[in-house]
Structure 1
Amino acid sequence: MGKRALVLSGGGGRGAYEVGVIRALYRAGWIPEILVGTSIGAVNAAALAAGWTAERLVDFWLGLRSHHVHRPHLRIWRSLFTTEPLRATLRRYIDFERLNDPDNPRTLLVLATDLRRGCPVVFASRPIPKTLPVRIGPEHLLASCSIPYIYPATPVERSVFWDGAVMANTPLNAAIEAGADEIVAVLLAPMPGQAGGWPLPRHPLQALALVLDLALLATFENDYRQLEAVNQAVRGGRPLKPTHREIRCHVVAPAAPLPLSRILRYDPAGTRALIAQGEADAQRILDRLEG
């Protein structure tokens, strides 16, 4: 059996949808060796890389509240919220020693945007081509979660970083470079052309969230089409490069846009509903694969 990769995108409190997907995948025995995450997806991926079960992740999210993630920033000219509560939460709950253990069978890749160089960077828990191998800690996850203006940029590794969604939210290429043969990519917005209508943002924060969602979709659609073109060439016996191989990619995404208001909200009722939705959507994909 080849290597499996789980690619998790960003979306704040809507990341509970990913937790439902993870619960369905783990229950079916689909356990990834490669975990790729951006923003809140990086937090979920890090938890799994540190050895969490799906049910522990569910329990964590059901106990998560907004004040565990952020609080209003006193210097609003820098950002609306500070992520210091999230830093404390990560340090309290995630075992970074276990995550970075050289014998850990799981590889973690975290995407962020390097402001000084103007490019995406992939932090990796072990050496992978086209990544920056580091000892991943809370600061790398915070860098990936630093939504512009909503949260402050995060200094890491002699640079300053924003949310990975700014340039590439669902890094399929990172999973491929890590050796994935099968990928499940989880989006927190509908696949391009499948949504029945996007909600109009009611204030600037929702407008920014919508912009990031649309950037996510544009990046993912391009990466997905490239992967499908490579797969088609390989199946036809005409690989574009000698190293190309067929890589199966399954996408789990909501049929309709998730509420923009959920980006900054973490509460049991909303979390429970998103977990159930993600679980149901993932089960439909699993049923098709088994059929």
Structure 2
Amino acid sequence: MSATTSATSRPKPAAPNSASTKASRRRRSPLAWIRGNILAATAIAVFVFLLAPNAVMLVMSFNSPVGKYNYIWNRFSANAWQHPCAVDDICTHMTLSLEIGVVVMIASTVLGTMAAFAMSRHRFRARPAVNVLLFLPMAAPEIIMGATLLTLFFSTIGSGSLGFWTITIGHVMFCLSYVVVTVKTRLAGMDPTLEKAAQDLYATPRQTFMKVTLPLVAPGIAAAALLSFALSIDDYIVTKYTAGTEVTFPVYVYGAVQRSVPVQIDVIGSMMMLVTMTGIALSLAVGRARTRKK
């Protein structure tokens, strides 16, 4: 009886206090949090590394520099945003880059999408060779590609014909590979039973493509189009070799840096970044709205 009483009279261990536990978690050092969340910390570091130049560009677009070089912060000014085209026909060069980018985006997206469908849906003997050829523009150094294109244009149409269309041809050549790879990846991840189900419901090949295949592949095609546009509008090396007397925005920026760095360069870059972010935000909002409706 005494043994039972002594066993039951022993004090029970106290439950951990939730408030003290939360306080101890709050007192954990940042280094301890990084050790416990290494993947999250790495992702944050990568995003900071990628976004820091864009943030600096946006901040420096509101700078009023001392001298010709917009490298050091002096004081706040919105004058460059009010007059973005005030320096050396900068908007003319930007317009040329936008025109080339739109043409390249349309041409490379159409041709690359058709090539991706042909590579994914059809079997032919030259398929491995075509795969290798499609990856060559991605693997070849741009300076070699530009010099080769210059030699091709010199030996066919002559040096006096270099300009808008030679730049466009050069950009389409290396953008095609990225479009094909992007669309092929989307096609490979698509469920083939959906197309078979449409055919079982007596849908014609055209109806199957327009109502099943194309809506499923559309995100990949849109991503490939945006990627080709970004690659085209940003290219300098191939453009320098194939431009002739034309001056695109990257060529202008490279030449301007040697003598001055106007604030308008950061302004136009910030405009492009804000437009891109707005487009991404709108697409995400539309996607979420469709998901909620469903």
> TM-score surpassing 0.5?
no
Structure showing greater Rg: 2
Bigger strand share = 1
When normalised by structure 1's length, the TM-score is 0.26
Bigger helix share = 2
